[in-house]
Chain A
Amino acid sequence: MTHSTTEPANFTGAAPKAGPMLAADGRPLKKSLARALRRQKLRALMLVAPLLIFVLVTFIAPIADMLFRSVENQIVSETLPETVMALQEWNGESDIPDAAYDAIYFDLFTAAEAKQHTRLGTRLNYEQTGISSLFRTSGRQLDDIGDDVHDALEDINPAWDEPAPWYQMMNAGDRPVDTALLDTKMFDMRALTGEVLEGDLGFAPAREVSDLLPRTAAAYTSWAIYTALVDGDIVAEEDPWESVFAALASDLQSGADVSGYSGPGADMLAEAAANLDALPAVDFRNVMVGIDEDWGALENWQTIKLYSPDYTPGYFLNSVDMQNGIDGAQMRPENERIYITLFIRTLYLSLVITGSCILLSYPVAFLLSNLPARSANLLMILVLLPFWTSLLVRTSAWKVMLQQQGVINDVLVWLGLVADDSRLVMINNQTGTIIAMTHILLPFMILPMYSVMSTIPPYYVRAAKSLGATNWTAFWRVYFPQSIPGIGAGSILVFILAIGYYITPEIVGGTKGVFISNRIAYHISSSLNWGLAAALGTILLAVVLILYWAYDRIVGIDNVKLG
């Protein structure tokens, strides 16, 4: 008796003592424990280090890259650096400033020479349909005005057609260099071509000239850099781009006073200035609108301005059926909304698939864990069989089964359950996706369930029955709660696999049964809109993480047992 009363008392815990508990060496017990645990953790960390590095490189890094791509938007400022600056002051509503037309002519000209203008057109076309053709056609016609000026100057003095006079006039030589202009143009060209551009340029813009003829000097410098460092030619021996001629005409017409200039080519310039009337009028607004009247349309300029920052929420807005407007983000028109529907459908179908997997797997896992080993093994092979068959084959088999002239419909018609003219539509819609994906994901539900159930000893149910529980109560109150970790593990596995599934919905889903991942795949491989694909992927990732968090809150993640 005395023995028995003392024993439980030991277990109610020692009475609280004053002050912290001390270990044998006099340190606080908490600290000693923490130190011992830290050593253990360190060793654990070393054991997982190889995998951790592998995961970092192959998993975390791509995800980080995806996150970056979903907001990255440097292409506009790289391709149209001057235009972006010129549009900074513009409010997006008033008339487009002249400076913007000036800038875009030269930016586009350089981009067209570097064959980068269509890329930008494609990028902006994601935001505004049709804008890519504007860029494409414009690129071809930018030469025209320069040609005209070129001819006129040649008539005035044939020396304008020679590379050497141009070079002598523009190159600094012994004169002071406009390093600011040179640096800016180098920077822009590097950004545009994405190349390092190293080597001997063999040219430096003269400050004198760039002060007098700013557009000409800028255009010539761009051309010089391109010629020397991209094409690898000698600047002094090549004809400048037509944009340089257009720039000269524009500079002279806007009142450049060449009379004070005495450097190389001073007489050529004076001669040209004297014959100003012989040059065609160069006004870049007219030039651009003349190439394509769409350059007069406000919306194209708004698009350029909206997407000129280096980072943009545009892809994300796009992913939730919104668009960036000059007065803030707004919903797209009803008929252009697709992604929210797709997200909701993906979540909903994944839930349905997870649910049907649970319903179908539970009895199988139960049977598996209660059968004698021999029959259990046989059944296990049947469960695993799908794993050994190609996913594509299995999915295609469902196509054969489910189509209107397929096996199931034939059987139903033969049985008289369905009339021949009203065969069930079970494929190329959500039903098809649910059926096929449930089948494909079934093993991922059965295996964790089985591994949990096979650890539940049979004596618990016996004990429950001996305590008076019916078969059902014993199952529901005693067996089922112990099997929940298996359901949890299977559900998380199946749900996360389902939410990112792609091949099966693609084949059997039709238009009504496809998932968001099909759209992501489309943007990655067909439309090449990787930014949007990345944004959609990021949202999908976020949704999964949020659901995981919610699951943890509601069910508790330690209730999940994978083995």
Chain B
Amino acid sequence: MADTATESAFVEFERVQKSYDGENLVVKDLNLSMPKGEFLTMLGPSGSGKTTCLMMLAGFETATHGEIKLGGKPINNIPPHKRNIGMVFQNYALFPHMTVAENLSFPLEVRKMGKSEREAKVKRALEMVQMGAFGGRRPAQLSGGQQQRIALARALVFEADLVLMDEPLGALDKQLREHMQFEIKRIADNLGITVVYVTHDQTEALTMSDRVAVFDDGRIQQLDPPDVLYEEPKNSFVAQFIGENNTLEGVVQEIKGDTCIVKLDGGEVIDAMPVNVAGVGERTRVSIRPERVEFNKDRLSPDAHTLKATVKEFIYMGDIFRTRLSVAGNEDFVVKTRNAPDAVRLEPGQQIDIGWLPRDCRALDA
């Protein structure tokens, strides 16, 4: 991916590796390039090296190998305080001995900014996060959500080139978190800042980001806009990790252009789109999103392969129905149907035929 670096690239990781102990690589081979103004999210399970990447970017950890560039210049040897990168820490790291206004004023003071200019900027930043009345308070006198806003304002007040956020909403309750996701996104868009955002919450990643980098095992598994990531996962890890997913395992029997025939382990045959298969005769894992499964025969093409399924459970969830089926040995095959006026409610024990469009069934690595 190093060759995708263009002139517009603002942040670049080139073959970056990182090891803490000299034995295990925490980051194995990281290549990433993002343009100015992008909101990029690093998404991955805990321990996948997201924070480490962020710390290397901020300058608190050094890359064991490879190069990190900011605005086209390598920053490996630039100390953290000269990188002009704003950072929001998971626990906010608001200085407890300073008031909110002093916290915000701090980055401006160290930049030797005049008093009146400082005050104006602090005021503007506080208003931006709707905390204008709280300048005189100590961080301990604020609620979690308010501290979060202040931490955000502090990272933004000195107009950093790049803002890093490491699970900034992790400590908030669900409702506040959803609200803050929206808020952060709005502010980032308004200011046009470049953001690298770290989270392990896929919904957060999908709703906020321009692009999402899915991390696993010290590598980026896929780097794409949210809709591409969801609809066209490139490998089974991404398919599993993003959204809900049904998998069936089998062997590729035949590849014809952009469709292939897969013979499942139980002997059934299905149509799929070959995305990441090694070739005919190789094992594969096919992935179908629950909402793309069809059991209304009229909507399938006449020559489509179908599978026999038994209804195990029917759950009414308001806007959708969630039906668990037993399909080709998979007891946890889930189908989601929109609660439309003509929607069918299946009964447990009912025998049905299910199918899908070949492009919705992606044959991935085993």
**A residues at B contact (CB < 8 Å):** 3-5, 7-8, 11-12, 457, 459-460, 462-471, 473-474, 477-478, 481-482
Contact status A467-B183, CB under 8 Å: no
Residues of B within 8 A of A471 (CB): 81
19 examples of A-B residue contacts, CB within 8 angstroms: A7-B145, A8-B131, A8-B134, A459-B89, A462-B58, A462-B80, A465-B79, A466-B86, A466-B87, A466-B155, A467-B107, A468-B111, A469-B81, A469-B106, A469-B110, A470-B110, A473-B110, A477-B106, A481-B97
Shortest CB-to-CB span from B92 to chain A, Å, is: 9
Residues of B within 8 A of A11 (CB): 134, 142-143, 146
Other A-B pairs beyond A4-B179, A469-B81, 13, CB < 8 Å: A3-B179, A11-B146, A12-B133, A457-B93, A462-B93, A463-B87, A463-B95, A466-B164, A467-B81, A467-B86, A467-B107, A467-B110, A470-B81
**Cβ-based interface call for B50 (8 A):** no
What is the bound-complex CA distance between A5 and B142, given in angstroms? 16
What is the bound-complex CA distance between A481 and B98, given in angstroms? 10
Q: Which of A457, A459, A467, A473 is packed against the most chain B CB atoms within 10 Å?
A: A467
Contact status A466-B133, CB under 8 Å: no
Residues of B within 8 A of A4 (CB): 130, 179, 183
Residues of A within 8 A of B111 (CB): 468
By Cβ-Cβ distance, the 6 closest A-B pairs, closest first, are A467-B107, A463-B93, A466-B87, A465-B80, A459-B93, A481-B97
What is the bound-complex CA distance between A437 and B220, given in angstroms? 60
Contact status B130-A466, CB under 8 Å: no
* Number of chain B residues whose Cβ lies closer than 8 Å to a Cβ of chain A: 36
Q: Which of B80, B82, B93, B158 contacts A460 (CB 8 A)?
A: B93
Residues of B within 8 A of A460 (CB): 93, 95
Q: Which of B87, B89, B91, B93 is packed against the most chain A CB atoms within 10 Å?
A: B93
Shortest CB-to-CB span from B142 to chain A, Å, is: 8
**Cβ-based interface call for B203 (8 A):** no
Q: Which of B80, B87, B130, B154 is packed against the most chain A CB atoms within 10 Å?
A: B80
What is the bound-complex CA distance between A561 and B70, given in angstroms? 43
What is the bound-complex CA distance between A467 and B89, given in angstroms? 12
What is the bound-complex CA distance between A376 and B80, given in angstroms? 27
Q: Which of A3, A5, A465 contacts B81 (CB 8 A)?
A: A465
Interface string of B55-73 (1 = CB under 8 A from A): 0001110000000000000
Interface string of B318-351 (1 = CB under 8 A from A): 0000000000000000000000000000000000
Q: Which of B79, B91, B95, B96 is packed against the most chain A CB atoms within 10 Å?
A: B95
Shortest CB-to-CB span from A552 to chain B, Å, is: 19
**Cβ-based interface call for B85 (8 A):** yes
Contact status B93-A8, CB under 8 Å: no
Residues of B within 8 A of A474 (CB): 81
Q: Which of A3, A7, A462 contacts B60 (CB 8 A)?
A: A462
Q: Which of A459, A465, A470, A482 contacts B91 (CB 8 A)?
A: A459
What is the bound-complex CA distance between A464 and B142, given in angstroms? 20
| Chain B, 221-270, CB within 8 A of any chain A CB | none
With A5-B130, A8-B131, A459-B89: A468-B179 Cβ-Cβ less than 8 Å: no
What is the bound-complex CA distance between A443 and B106, given in angstroms? 35
Contact status B106-A467, CB under 8 Å: yes
**Cβ-based interface call for B84 (8 A):** yes
Contact status B110-A468, CB under 8 Å: yes
Tell me the nearest residue of chain A to B102, going by C-beta: A477
With A5-B130, A467-B107: A478-B95 Cβ-Cβ less than 8 Å: yes
Residues of A within 8 A of B84 (CB): 468
What is the bound-complex CA distance between A449 and B124, given in angstroms? 39
Contact status B130-A8, CB under 8 Å: yes
Contact status B96-A466, CB under 8 Å: no
Q: Which of A457, A460, A474, A482 is packed against the most chain B CB atoms within 10 Å?
A: A460
Contact status B89-A463, CB under 8 Å: yes
What is the bound-complex CA distance between A495 and B81, given in angstroms? 39
What is the bound-complex CA distance between A462 and B55, given in angstroms? 10
Shortest CB-to-CB span from B291 to chain A, Å, is: 29
What is the bound-complex CA distance between A468 and B104, given in angstroms? 12
Contact status B134-A466, CB under 8 Å: no
What is the bound-complex CA distance between A462 and B89, given in angstroms? 10
Contact status B134-A468, CB under 8 Å: no
Q: Which of A464, A465, A468, A482 contacts B158 (CB 8 A)?
A: A468
Contact status B133-A468, CB under 8 Å: no
Residues of B within 8 A of A465 (CB): 59-60, 79-81
What is the bound-complex CA distance between A460 and B130, given in angstroms? 24
Q: Which of B59, B79, B110, B134 is packed against the most chain A CB atoms within 10 Å?
A: B110
Shortest CB-to-CB span from A482 to chain B, Å, is: 6
What is the bound-complex CA distance between A248 and B296, given in angstroms? 143
Shortest CB-to-CB span from A461 to chain B, Å, is: 9
What is the bound-complex CA distance between A474 and B81, given in angstroms? 10
Shortest CB-to-CB span from B101 to chain A, Å, is: 14
Residues of B within 8 A of A5 (CB): 130
| Chain B, 111-169, CB within 8 A of any chain A CB | 111, 130-131, 133-134, 142-143, 145-146, 154-155, 158, 164
What is the bound-complex CA distance between A5 and B179, given in angstroms? 12
Residues of B within 8 A of A457 (CB): 91, 93
Residues of B within 8 A of A466 (CB): 58-59, 80-81, 83, 85-87, 155, 164
Tell me the nearest residue of chain A to B180, going by C-beta: A4
Residues of B within 8 A of A12 (CB): 133
Contact status B154-A467, CB under 8 Å: yes
Residues of B within 8 A of A463 (CB): 87, 89, 93, 95
Residues of A within 8 A of B97 (CB): 481-482
Residues of A within 8 A of B143 (CB): 11
Tell me the nearest residue of chain B to A470, going by C-beta: B81
Interface string of B25-42 (1 = CB under 8 A from A): 000000000000000000
Contact status B146-A8, CB under 8 Å: yes
Shortest CB-to-CB span from B48 to chain A, Å, is: 21
Residues of B within 8 A of A482 (CB): 96-97
Shortest CB-to-CB span from A550 to chain B, Å, is: 22
Tell me the nearest residue of chain B to A461, going by C-beta: B93
Tell me the nearest residue of chain A to B84, going by C-beta: A468
What is the bound-complex CA distance between A482 and B140, given in angstroms? 14
Shortest CB-to-CB span from B238 to chain A, Å, is: 31
Tell me the nearest residue of chain A to B95, going by C-beta: A478
What is the bound-complex CA distance between A11 and B146, given in angstroms? 10
Shortest CB-to-CB span from A487 to chain B, Å, is: 14
